[in-house]
Chains A and B, each alone.
Chain A
């Protein structure tokens, strides 16, 4: 998957230069732009930047009003304060509605955003006037819910993103107060609707994906609440996260096989972040301490976790198979499942309690990280995908840096590890050269 999809505006701009230099015809430029679901000449159109600046301006007006409320004007009668702000909210929304009626959708959207900020300010003012508690999750929820219909009705990603970010803020407030944020799926469903029906939005897509993952993890925390009745993070959550990212990776591969350019773009984004998550997780587990904690974990929810991981991994493999991309997915899935099984096995087995398994896992993960780096470099050069190449280089350099700071098995052990990694890198280089020579001869 090529990151060029995420920089297609730059591509469109470049094409305008190519057309000027007669390198390609205007028809060819149009055809290439169609391939990426773009309009030729859109790079010259600065409406996106204008809309973004106007939206940010409105957002700042809203923030200014909220800060002004914070000054607490208690010398002004509460009825006047409340009535005034409610009237401003209604006037702004009414004005926006009128603009929409006149067909000025873009201007209306910006004003709806401002109206939603004033609506939130009204809620904040009520909470301030009536001294409503120290934490205000319910008020934030009402703000998010009241703003949501505008994004959905207009299929506008910015308005929907505003509601979803408020909902995520509520989600964390609610969890920290000991409540389960059961209503988050309402925002997820609304976001999916806007993503499918509305224009492309990378931010809304990634926020939706993150919301789905967070809500599933919170649901599990609710199910695994235990005797303390607290929403704790268990070791099992990590394995479910791994399975969720396997699923996300498989889903990204499936999205990339779709006809729609929008689906392909979302596929690239999801794949990129799944890959980054995988590498960051492996870097974390290239240290000894996380393995020690994982193996020492209580594992009180092993069966339910096993079922969820099995279902998610099975679904991921099925999607990968349907997309014809099982070859890319299978090695990652097998490695992830073997790691999880081994960690649980060493963590729960009494017989193996004396084995220094953390060190074994640490060495395996360092070797796998370097192998992954080599694979990414080779794949990046062979397929001409620059982000794979740079990700591979960054991975190997990071492993080297980490291991230099945090030696495995003191100095001799560290030196042996570096020698092994060097042999691996030089061996890979040699193999690659041999393959290239063979290809040239053919």
Chain B
């Protein structure tokens, strides 16, 4: 291979890296820019990621999908894409209304992956971690022990980003 062609190739490889990083930022930030805010119930716990430092692991009620919600003949595959429709409950929080392997035409829905394929199915949406400095992550875990509210930004295609986690305020 000619040296000049190698240099052009290496330049393109650097450009590819920049493109990947910018693409990832765009993909991750898109729901923040264009999405609708919804609130769902969550309970955090504090582990540590090998790469990304401390975080609060978030368990969602909408992460557990009862069998009757997903009306399919066969058993779903692990990793299979599932669309979970949400509806607002009386307390201002969103809960599961139904689920389908096909993209719904309307309403608020999240795009997730099935990680446990026997009932109740477990679904992950890519919003299960809230990264924060160690002290903040531990405090978050303490403050939200009895439950918290995750602020999510959802696009029309069901892609979702985690905006913030706040303490749950009981309406009496």
Interface residues of A (CB under 8 A from B): 66, 69-74, 82, 86, 89-90, 93-94, 97, 100-101, 112, 115, 119, 122-124, 126-134, 136, 139, 142, 145-146, 149-150, 153-154, 177-179, 225, 227-231
Contacts and interface: CB of A to CB of B under 8 A. Distances in A.
Contact of B127 (A115, A123, A124, A131): A131
A71 B133 contact: yes
A89 B49 CA distance: 23
A90 B28 CA distance: 21
Interface in B87-141: 113-115, 117-118, 124-134, 136
6 closest A-B pairs by beta carbon, nearest first, are A178-B78, A70-B53, A178-B79, A130-B28, A149-B13, A133-B126
A102 B9 CA distance: 16
A130 B75 CA distance: 32
A150 B75 CA distance: 43
Contacts of B21: 86, 89, 119, 122-123, 126
Contacts of B72: none
B144 to A, nearest CB: 15
Given A133-B127, A133-B129, A146-B16, A124 B52 contact: yes
B7 interface: yes
Contacts of B12: 149
B152 to A, nearest CB: 10
A230 B78 contact: yes
A229 B57 contact: no
Interface of B: 1, 6-7, 9-14, 16-18, 20-21, 24-25, 28-29, 32, 49, 51-55, 57, 75-80, 113-115, 117-118, 124-134, 136, 161-162
Given A119-B21, A132-B28, A229 B14 contact: no
Contacts of B6: 100, 153-154
B167 to A, nearest CB: 18
Contacts of A154: 6, 10
Nearest to B7: A101
Contacts of B118: 228
A180 B2 CA distance: 37
Given A69-B52, A134-B57, A228 B75 contact: yes
Contacts of B9: 149, 153
5 contacts: A70-B53, A74-B136, A115-B14, A128-B131, A229-B117
Nearest to A146: B17
A122 B19 CA distance: 12
Contacts of B130: 131
A100 B75 contact: no
Contact of A134 (B29, B76, B117, B128): B128
Contact of B13 (A74, A82, A153, A229): A153
Nearest to A73: B133
Contacts of A149: 9-10, 12-13, 16
A179 B113 CA distance: 10
Contact of B131 (A72, A100, A139, A229): A72
B59 to A, nearest CB: 11
B7 A72 contact: no
Nearest to A68: B53
Given A100-B7, A178-B77, A229-B78, A130 B161 contact: yes
A69 B52 CA distance: 7
Contact of B10 (A129, A150, A230): A150
B124 A133 contact: yes
B129 A72 contact: no
Given A178-B78, A178-B79, A230-B117, A74 B10 contact: no
A228 B78 CA distance: 9
A115 B25 CA distance: 19
Contacts of B32: 130
Contacts of A101: 7
Interface centre among B20, B52, B126, B128 (most CB of A within 10 A): B52
Contacts of A230: 78, 117
Nearest to A145: B20
A112 B54 CA distance: 29
A225 B74 CA distance: 14
Given A70-B52, A86-B21, A119-B17, A133 B128 contact: yes
Contacts of B125: 133
Of A93, A127, A131, A146, most buried by chain B (CB within 10 Å of CB) is A131
B24 A94 contact: no
Contacts of B128: 133-134
Contacts of B161: 130-131
Nearest to B137: A72
Nearest to A71: B53
A100 B1 CA distance: 14
Contacts of A153: 1, 6, 9-10, 13
B75 A227 contact: yes
Contacts of B16: 146, 149
A177 B114 CA distance: 9
B14 A90 contact: yes
A136 B51 contact: yes
Nearest to A94: B14
Given A72-B133, A227-B75, A97 B127 contact: no
Given A101-B7, A133-B128, A177-B79, A128 B53 contact: yes
Given A100-B7, A133-B127, A179-B79, A128 B52 contact: yes
A145 B16 CA distance: 10
A11 B13 CA distance: 40
